[in-house]
Amino acid sequence: MNYRGPYRIRTVDKPMPEILHPEDAIIRVTRSCICGSDLHLYHGMVPDTRVGSTFGHEFTGIVEEVGPLVQKLKVGDQVLVPFNVACGKCNFCKQGLFGNCHESNPMATAVGGIFGYSHTAGGYDGGQAEYVRVPYADVGPTVIPAEMDPDDAVLLTDVVPTGYQAAEMGGIKEGDTVIVFGAGPIGIMAARCAWFFGPARVIIIDHIDYRLEFARNYAKCEAYNFKEMADPVVFLKKLTDWYGADVCIDCVGCEAEGNTLQTFSGRVTLMQAGAATAFQWAINSVKKGGIVSVVGVYGPPFNLAPIGNIVNKGITIRANQASVKRLLPKLIDHVLSGRLSPKELITHRVPLAEVADAYRLFSSKLDNCIKTVLIP
């Protein structure tokens, strides 16, 4: 796929990617997904998204070629590739922060390298393609267990670890009440994974009914439409015994709806880095001393947020890009044991050649779309 400008993409023939570093591998893509994060690119909201780039950070494939220093991967291996480009050696990687690698993105220090995610995230071409270059091939790519369904494998590159980490960062204790904002693939997975930590209640908020319905069934949680609430924060306070949730999780990010001022300043005029509506609701609906976990993506400069309330309520904020590699062993176990079934999120399968239609479908939330897989 090839980006031509906001809302415009097409497929083109590009030269085969080459090994540019001795630790590189070239992967022939077997499946790639479109993510909510790709929509920020598609809508032209991420600075330094250059015309001609290829998106895609959630993919599986077959190793086609390896560089001279690659030791663990062999040609022919079936692998799933975490969305983060990580060196495995810097202090951040060594401490498990694979989403914050310091040796994968020269263009910005605030974010590590991410496949197919603009030059702000390293300028890598992504996996919504037939072939892709994968640097540090001994670190990220993980051989798919023979007994694993390939649809589950591709969701382990981002959706499952991100949803899981969103819940993990919430520091959920037994008996807690958790509110998840956003019923996209990430929010649904966060709500599902929250149960691994023992809460008594999980509540999900969105404004798209088919997604709420899906979340209710898949994640076994309570689901509410914020368009039906006069004031979402008051509604949520009341729903949580006028106390506030113990943990709130933002799985929406910069393209949130629901607050005119946030939308106008963040999405229409780009005066701030997107609309921080869900983040604001999270802070204002969590209890005093509560935890707000953020995986929703925001742009680089800054956002309007109620910092005063964070201070006065003593709120802890935890946030990060998911550290896919760190979580994989645990999550592979959850999937293989049958406790978690990620592939149920997949609603659409589209040939790579129809990628423009696939983006539109997901972006406009048409045909009850939750998650789309592209097949090259």
Partner 1 sequence: MITQNEDYKNIPGWGMDADPENEPTYPMKNYTGDDHSRINYERAEHQPQDVEILMSNERPAMTRVFGTAVPPSGLSGMIRRYAFQHSEDRYRHWIPLILADRVNVFEGLIADIGTGHLPNFIKERGLAMEWKYNRTGLLKKAATAAVIGVVLVAWIRKKK
Half-sphere exposure of 5 (CA within 13 A, CB side): 0
* Partner from ligand NAD, Zn ion, partner 1, none contacting 187, C-beta within 5 to 8 A by type: ligand NAD
The site map against partner 1 for 295-334 (x = CB under 8 A) is: ----xxx--------------x-x-x--x--x--------
Taking a C-beta distance cutoff of 8 angstroms, is the pair 189, 221 a contact?
A: no
User: CA–CA separation, 347 vs 57, rounded Å?
Assistant: 19
Q: Which 3 state secondary structure label does DSSP give 34?
A: strand
Of the candidate residues 130, 151, 152, 158, the single one contacting Zn ion (CB under 5 A): 158
Note whether 97 binds Zn ion by CB under 5 A.
Answer: no
* Partner from ligand NAD, partner 1, Zn ion, none contacting 23, C-beta within 5 to 8 A by type: partner 1
By beta-carbon proximity to ligand NAD, the closer residue of 63 and 331 is 331
Q: Which stretch binds partner 1 (CB under 8 A): 121-129, 186-194, 232-240, 261-269?
A: 121-129
Structure tokens at 93: 């990687």
User: How is 203-236 classified by DSSP, letter by letter?
Assistant: EEEES-HHHHHHHHHHS--EEEEGGG-SSHHHHH
The separation between CA 55 and the C-alpha centre of its own chain, rounded to angstroms, equals 14
**Residue 117, burial from CB neighbour count under 10 angstroms (0-12, 13-18, 19+):** buried
The site map against ligand NAD for 164-203 (x = CB under 6 A) is: -----------------xxxxxxx----------------
Strands 222-225, 316-319: parallel, antiparallel or unpaired by DSSP? Answer: unpaired
CB of 63 to partner 1, least distance (A): 18
By beta-carbon proximity to ligand NAD, the closer residue of 17 and 299 is 299
Of the candidate residues 165, 177, 259, 272, the single one contacting partner 1 (CB under 8 A): 165
Question: Cβ neighbours of residue 103 under 8 Å, at least 6 residues apart?
Answer: 87, 89, 90
By beta-carbon proximity to partner 1, the closer residue of 27 and 205 is 27
Q: Which of 162, 201, 157 is nearest to 178 (CA)?
A: 201
CB of 213 to Zn ion, least distance (A): 23
Note whether 120 binds ligand NAD by CB under 6 A.
Answer: no
Structure tokens at 82: 């975490």
Q: Where on the chain is the footprint of partner 1 (CB under 8 A)? A: 4-10, 20-24, 44, 47-54, 69, 85, 87, 89-91, 94-97, 102-110, 113, 119-120, 122-125, 135-136, 165, 168-169, 270, 299-301, 316, 318, 320, 323, 326, 356-361, 364, 366-367
